[in-house]
Amino acid sequence: MSVKTLDDLLAEGVSGRGVLVRSDLNVPLDDDGNISDPGRIIASLPTLRALVEAGAKVVVTAHLGRPKGEPDPKFSLAPVAKELGERLGRHVQLAGDVVGTDALARAEGLTDGDVLLLENIRFDPRETSKDEAERTALAKALIELVDTPGGPTPAFVSDGFGVVHRKQASVYDVAKLLPHFAGNLVATEVKVLQQLTESSDRPYAVVLGGSKVSDKLAVIENLATKADSLIIGGGMCFTFLAAQGFSVGSSLLQEEMVDTCRKLLADYGDVIHLPVDIVVAEKFAADSPPETVAADRIPDGKMGLDIGPESVKRFTTLLSNAKTVFWNGPMGVFEFPAFSAGTKGLAEAIIGATEKGGFSVVGGGDSAAAVRQLGLPEDGFSHISTGGGASLEYLEGKELPGISVLQN
């Protein structure tokens, strides 16, 4: 990827200069509105810290959740501003709006090394508009916050890898209007994904979980031709088991994808590996008693909530000599302790491969959350991505608008 990076911007000098940063601060909140996993905030710190220490006037845009294009207190970035400030070791102001009077007033008052976080960018419907003119209008309003008349030219730093697959105002349109640079996080993520796609040491193993085959179909089709083994678990494995003619009880099943899975198994049966045993329960609940059954003997009325111990053993053997591993999606309902062993076992197998010198990438989203929730060492993996959807689209071979715009 031939783009200018944060180092290039710092070499130009940013003291007293307005810098607009698109970060990915979309962290999960618990029922009380507290941050349950600050991983993305932590990942955003190196770029923000470097700019602050170099004396930039930093304005950060980010989103939280999926508000419907209007202010919603449930999706306020207030808890994020507090956490970010504590971790940066300095006060982070939160504007009361996106590009309104409060944001303008606070931006005008910034001094060198200050940080202003704008309220949830998705409170403005123009952020996600399909109309380029609407997105451009918002982009220009964002630029106004970092542009001091008669002052140095402002800059844009793209550091929210989790949103680079979106053609949105704060990701794409701003970059078309300002000198633009890839932040540390985006530059690292792209370098890692390039390594996965272009120079994978073999054996190359892919582990895919999650609920729906349809969400991962393109990546399965793309990686099945490149990987030596493709392990499938999570809710999506039941559609594959159904494609083999097995009853899956009341497990998650995408009926409309059964024929597709049958074709995938016919084309790539030597590469695709499915569970041989399943942990089932009567209902989707943490206290539902678990029972392990053979994958081709799931009883009627029972639903699969995890892969079983024999599957973990077989998959561990497959992964034991892997030189490259990409993992995206949990093997079961890891949030429930009784159904977390499959995900933990697979993660430990990947850590084992990494310790032997393998290169391992955790593809963001629920997989990254599982690593932290299950108390696994984050440094046991070569790289934990912050962008699940963006990682998958890159591996599908799609162009990511937020990356391609940085190359211009």
Prediction pTM value: 0.87
228 is in an annotated binding site: no
**Residues 265, 158 share a domain:** no
Residue 126 and residue 137 in contact, taking contact as beta carbons nearer than 8 Å:
yes
178 is in an annotated binding site: no
pLDDT tens digit sequence for 198-238: 867 899 999 999 888 888 888 899 899 989 999 999 999 99
367 is in an annotated binding site: yes
166 is in an annotated binding site: yes
135 is in an annotated binding site: no
**Residues 163, 134 share a domain:** yes
- Structural domain boundaries enclosing 323: 201-395
Judge whether 235 lies within some domain. Answer: yes
User: How many domains in the chain?
Assistant: 2
Total residue count of the chain as it appears in this document: 408
* 40 annotated active-site: yes
Each residue's pLDDT tens digit in the chain (408 positions)?
Answer: 589 999 999 999 999 999 999 999 999 998 888 998 898 999 999 999 999 999 999 999 999 999 999 999 999 999 999 999 999 999 999 999 999 999 999 999 999 999 999 999 999 999 999 999 999 999 999 999 999 888 899 999 999 999 999 999 999 999 999 999 999 999 999 999 888 888 678 999 999 998 888 888 888 998 999 899 999 999 999 999 999 999 999 999 999 999 999 999 999 999 999 999 999 999 999 999 999 999 999 999 999 999 999 999 999 999 999 999 999 999 999 999 999 999 999 999 999 999 999 999 998 778 888 998 899 999 999 999 888 788 888 888 889 999 999 996
Write down the pLDDT at residue 193.
Answer: 87
- What is the distance between the alpha carbons of residues 292 and 163, in angstroms, rounded to a whole number? 39
Judge whether 401 lies within some domain. Answer: no
Judge whether 406 lies within some domain. Answer: no
Which 8-state DSSP code applies to residue 29? Answer: B
Please say whether the dihedral angle defined by the alpha carbons of residues 319, 320, 323 and 328, taken in this order, is positive or negative: positive
**Residues 249, 102 share a domain:** no
Residue 156 and residue 186 in contact, taking contact as beta carbons nearer than 8 Å:
no
Residue ending a domain, choose from 130, 150, 185 = 185
Alpha-carbon distance values, 153 to 13, 21, 61, 90, 180 (Å): 11, 15, 19, 25, 11
Q: Which of 4, 17, 22, 40 is catalytic?
A: 40
* 389 annotated active-site: yes
Q: 351-382 b/e with 16+ CB inside 10 Å = b? A: bbbbeeebbbbbbbbbbbbbbebbebeeebbb
**Residues 129, 237 share a domain:** no
Write down the pLDDT at residue 349.
Answer: 97
25 is in an annotated binding site: yes
24 is in an annotated binding site: yes
Residue 308 and residue 342 in contact, taking contact as beta carbons nearer than 8 Å:
yes
Of 30, 25, 41, which is closest to residue 74 (Cα–Cα)? 30
* 89 annotated active-site: no
Residue 242: which CATH number?
A: 3.40.50.1260
Residue 60 has φ and ψ, to the nearest 5°, of -110, 130
63 is in an annotated binding site: yes
Q: Which of 176, 226, 389, 398 is catalytic?
A: 389
The torsion region of residue 301 among left (phi > 0), alpha (psi -120 to 50) and beta comes to left
- What is the distance between the alpha carbons of residues 60 and 47, in angstroms, rounded to a whole number? 11
Q: Which of 212, 226, 314, 323 is catalytic?
A: 212
Q: Which of 365, 387, 388, 402 is catalytic?
A: 365
Judge whether 404 lies within some domain. Answer: no
User: 303-307 and 277-281 as β-strands: parallel, antiparallel, unpaired?
Assistant: antiparallel
- What is the distance between the alpha carbons of residues 357 and 352, in angstroms, rounded to a whole number? 9
Judge whether 402 lies within some domain. Answer: no
Judge whether 193 lies within some domain. Answer: no
**Residues 277, 129 share a domain:** no
255 is in an annotated binding site: no
**Residues 270, 166 share a domain:** no
Give burial (CB, 10 Å; 0-12/13-18/19+) of 11. exposed
* 150 annotated active-site: no
**Residues 268, 151 share a domain:** no
Sheet-wide strand order for 155-159: 92-94, 115-117, 57-61, 18-23, 155-159, 180-182
Write down the pLDDT at residue 389.
Answer: 84
